[in-house]
Amino acid sequence: MKIRAIRLKEVGRFREPVALEGLTGGLDVLAGSNELGKSTILKAVKLVLFEQHKSKKTKTVEVLRPYAGGAPLVELEFEIDGKSWRIRKQFLAQASAELKDLQSGRVWRGGDAECELSKLLSGSAGAEHFALLWVEQGDSLKALEPAAMMNGALYAAIEAEVVAVADGGAARIAHAKVKQELAALVTSHNPPRPAGAYKVILDERRDLRQQCQAARDRLARAQARLDHLADLRARAAQLSDPEVVTARLAAANAMRAAFDEALKAREKCRHSEQAQQSQEERLVALRAALESFECRITDLAKLEDEARQDAPAMNEMTRRVADCQARVVECRRSRDEIKASLDTVEGRLKALDLAERAKQAAERLQVARGLAAEHKALAGEIANNCAEEGLVIAVRRENASLETIKARLSAAAPRVSIVYADGAKSEIRVEGRVLKDGETLNPCKPIALEITGVGVVTVAPGQLESLGEDQSNLAAHEEELRALLKRAGAASIDEAERRLGQRRVLEARLAEASIQLKALAPNGLECLERAHAESFSDVPPIKDMCHVAQADLELRSRELEDELGDAERQLVKMEQEQDQVGKDEAGLSARVHERDRRIEMLSQSLGDQAVRKRELEKLSVAVAEAESGLNAAVRDLAAWREKAPEDARFDGMKADAERAEGALADAERDLIEIRREEAGIEGELKADRAGDVSACLAELEDKLASVETRTQDMADQIQALQLLDREFSVATSETRERFAKPVLDRLAPYMSIVFPEARLGFGDGLAPKELHRGDDSEALGNLSKGTQEQLAVLVRLGFGGLLAETASPAPLILDDALVYSDDRRIERMFAALKRAANSHQVLVLTCRESTFAALGGHRIAIGAWQTP
């Protein structure tokens, strides 16, 4: 197909009718500024060729409606296989379509026009979108994005033609159907996971298997219950058999009787053992008593001999004790005498000391009393002197204020100096007083100077603003000063100062007296008086000791202390000796006493000789009797032991009896338990029947078998679909490869122009994947934008060349498709475009007028559409 003219009205920015006329069908170039409408022209061409005039794809159509509204009208004149055609379509409002054979004049309208146009564009292979190739602004880069996205653009552009040449899209539809059915059964994961109906049936199978297993378990339990019930009934029958019950009872009774007999014999045997033991004990006791009696007689005789031997030693011990006692008494007496003398001397010394202390205390008291009197006097003087510090300070302050005021007044007051002239005869008087020569006056108020024989001179102070105030203050301060002086008891300030000085002196003396008094009587004078009185009461009368010197007393005291020490040591020695003798005597006495006590005790217990003899005979007889009794008990015991069973046998008889009775009880209990269990099982069996577990299992197994079959069938179907999918993919790939080669072959010349010694590699979906230069490969995404767009255009040139050779040539429209290319590359691209234009139409729309001037080709321009 070759486009000869493009005419637009109310399309995009073309509100008014415009036209591109005179396209050669070779290399046609429209160069113009931005917003010329170049992209609109391409969209309009696609719209008129591929959209129905009544299309509902509002986005595709609306985008071409002018902003101000309108109904896009597009007309295209084109040539296919040498025949010229014109298609005109109006979209949106008053949609219409008209196809005209420009040679025969035949016209098709509406749907007929669409059908006929579709047939024309389908070409010999009968596919859509066959008739046009294009690269839109920015599309070239999108088309070269990685494979997943590339399929959407380049693949869509290429595959349709591939498919169109192949088999009309049926394979694609079939493949899509296969994928759709597969997707309804498994996911696209690797490995695929069950989905949709397959998952449902797998779940159903899983559930049924579980239910079957559960049903089998239930049935097994039901069967077990039946088996168990049969066992229980058999056991119950056995337990309740009358003959068996009777035999069991008889056996138990016999066992019990035998056991009771054995028990009785063992009891008798036990009693005999006890009797024998008792006899033995009695014999032992009697023999011990006889032996004891004989021993006591022997002991008594021995003790009496000892007593006779110890008598002289006792007497000697008594004498020694008396002697020691006398010596101790003597030593004590001597010690006491010396101690008394010493006490006397020490008493005298103490009395002397007390007297001295009392004297000192009296002296302190005297001084304290003096100080107290002085304190009192001073306090009285101070009380009479009112010239306190603060008061005098106030006086000073008042005086200072007065002086200040006076000075101010004086300063304000005129200074009148009296100077008589030599030989003056008159006198100057003021208020009757004659002023002396050289006297100075500072009147604060007007004064009249009387000059005798002359007149009166009145002198008035200056007019001070505060004169009146100062004068009143002066009076106030003078009044205050007088009051303060009066309080201080002074007539003048000097006197007040003097009285203050005196007061200070008094106060100093008072403080000193207080300190001294405090030192002597810290607790007060009264307390000191009391202490003094007490100390005097301790002093003994002086008159008995006045003739004894203290030194002599002290010497005598030391001598007596020495004597006392000796006497004490002697006494201690004697006492120790006395203690030792005492201990010896006590020990001897204790032994004698103890022996006498034992002799007494034994004599009393044994009695006299006759009594002892009788007792001995009695004991001997008792021993003989006890021996006889023991022999009898031994014989008795032996007899019972023969009758009673030994422990093991007795235990066995007991166990047998218990077992037999236990068996009776167990049988009863078992029977009750069996009945109870039987009732329980019957209830469970009833529930089993209510659920018909056996039939349920059969039903579930049937269902499971069916589901297994369906599952297997579905799995087989999935395998088949997966195989189909793979085969379709392989076939598609092979088909693409088949057409990739021709594309590559057609692409090669262009590649040699722009990218010499480079080779383009395709990936899935016949999408350019990488550029090979020598041994290096670079992914398309990593190439520069300029290289990517150049490759995009070249690929379309390759396909255009293929279509031109194999089907029907399709025009290629480039809408500003080379915006990133440098000068050198663009030059080469121009060479490629020129070459391509030899086999099919290349329509270049560009905004780079000067750059594309070198492209050559036929320049077209947008003009007015004369007759829309």
Partner 1 sequence: MRFAFIHTADWQIGKRFGAFEAEKAAVLREQRLGAVDRLADAARASGAATVLVAGDVFDSETVTDALIARLLSRLKGHNNLVWHLLSGNHDPARAGGVWEAIVAGGLPENVCLHLSSQPAELAKGVVLLPAPLTSKSTSCDPTIWMDSVSSPDGIVRIGLAHGSVQGFGSDGGANVPIDPARAQSAGLAYLALGDWHGVKRISDHVWYSGTPEPDSFPDNEPGYALAVHIDDAKATPKVERIATAHFTWTRRRKTISCADSLEAIEKEVSQLGAEASRHLMGLSLAGSVSLAEFARIDDRLAKLGSQLFHLAPDLSGVQTFAAGSDIDALGSGMLATVATRLKGMAESPTEDREVAARALRKLFAIARSAEAGGPR
Using CB under 8 A as the criterion, which residues of the chain lie in contact with partner 1 when the complex forms? 166-168, 170-171, 173-174, 177-178, 219, 222, 225-226, 229-230, 232-233, 681-682, 685-686, 688-696, 698-703, 705-706, 716-717, 719-721, 723-724, 727-728, 730-732, 734-735
Q: Please state the closest distance from residue 166 (CB atom) to partner 1, in A.
A: 5
Instruction: State the CB neighbour count (10 A cutoff) for residue 706.
Output: 11
Q: Please state the closest distance from residue 226 (CB atom) to partner 1, in A.
A: 5
242-384 and 647-691 helices cross at what angle (nearest 10)?
90
Q: Please state the closest distance from residue 689 (CB atom) to partner 1, in A.
A: 5
Residue (306 or 702) nearer to partner 1, CB: 702
Q: What is the 3-state secondary structure (H, E, C) of 765-800?
A: HHCEEEEEECCEEEEHHHCCHHHHHHHHHHHHHHHH
DSSP 168: T
Q: Which residues contact 784 (CB under 8 A, 6 or more apart)?
A: 820
Q: Please state the closest distance from residue 715 (CB atom) to partner 1, in A.
A: 10
Q: Please state the closest distance from residue 798 (CB atom) to partner 1, in A.
A: 22
Q: Please state the closest distance from residue 13 (CB atom) to partner 1, in A.
A: 44
Of 76, 82, 73, the closest CA to residue 49 belongs to 76
Backbone angles phi, psi at 46, to 5 degrees: -65, -40
Residue (230 or 616) nearer to partner 1, CB: 230
Of 280, 284, 281, the closest CA to residue 632 belongs to 280
DSSP 99: E
Q: Please state the closest distance from residue 171 (CB atom) to partner 1, in A.
A: 3
Of 599, 745, 662, the closest CA to residue 296 belongs to 599
Q: Please state the closest distance from residue 124 (CB atom) to partner 1, in A.
A: 14
Q: Please state the closest distance from residue 233 (CB atom) to partner 1, in A.
A: 5
Q: Which residues contact 337 (CB under 8 A, 6 or more apart)?
A: none
DSSP 820: S
Q: Please state the closest distance from residue 667 (CB atom) to partner 1, in A.
A: 21
Residue (180 or 838) nearer to partner 1, CB: 180
Residue (473 or 694) nearer to partner 1, CB: 694
Per-residue CA distances from 413 to 399, 410, 438, 442 (Å):
20, 5, 18, 5
Give, rounded to a whole angstrom, the gap between the first and last alpha carbons of the chain: 23
Q: Please state the closest distance from residue 228 (CB atom) to partner 1, in A.
A: 9
d(Cα 644, Cα 259) in Å, to the nearest integer? 11
d(Cα 833, Cα 794) in Å, to the nearest integer? 9
Residue (144 or 681) nearer to partner 1, CB: 681
Residue (307 or 695) nearer to partner 1, CB: 695
Residue (661 or 701) nearer to partner 1, CB: 701
The number of helices, as runs of H, and strands, as runs of E, in the chain is 19, 21
Q: Please state the closest distance from residue 222 (CB atom) to partner 1, in A.
A: 6
Of 828, 846, 844, 636, the closest CA to residue 750 belongs to 828
The bridge status of strand 27-31 relative to strand 858-860 is parallel
Backbone angles phi, psi at 36, to 5 degrees: -75, -30
d(Cα 776, Cα 757) in Å, to the nearest integer? 12
Helix, strand or coil, per DSSP, at residue 24: coil
Q: Please state the closest distance from residue 650 (CB atom) to partner 1, in A.
A: 45
Residue (434 or 731) nearer to partner 1, CB: 731
Residue (696 or 831) nearer to partner 1, CB: 696
Residue (382 or 721) nearer to partner 1, CB: 721
If phi over 0 gives left and psi between -120 and 50 gives alpha, with beta otherwise, what is residue 70? Answer: left
Query: Cis omega before residue 146 (within 30°)?
Result: no
Residue (91 or 739) nearer to partner 1, CB: 739
Q: Classify burial at 70, counting beta carbons within 10 Å of its beta carbon; exposed 0-12, middle 13-18, buried 19 or more.
A: middle
Residue (340 or 720) nearer to partner 1, CB: 720
Residue (588 or 685) nearer to partner 1, CB: 685
Q: What tokens does 701 get?
A: 């197994």
d(Cα 286, Cα 621) in Å, to the nearest integer? 10
Q: Which residues contact 447 (CB under 8 A, 6 or more apart)?
A: 416, 430, 431, 441, 458, 459, 460
Q: Which residues contact 22 (CB under 8 A, 6 or more apart)?
A: 4, 5, 858, 860
Q: Please state the closest distance from residue 740 (CB atom) to partner 1, in A.
A: 15
Residue (170 or 285) nearer to partner 1, CB: 170
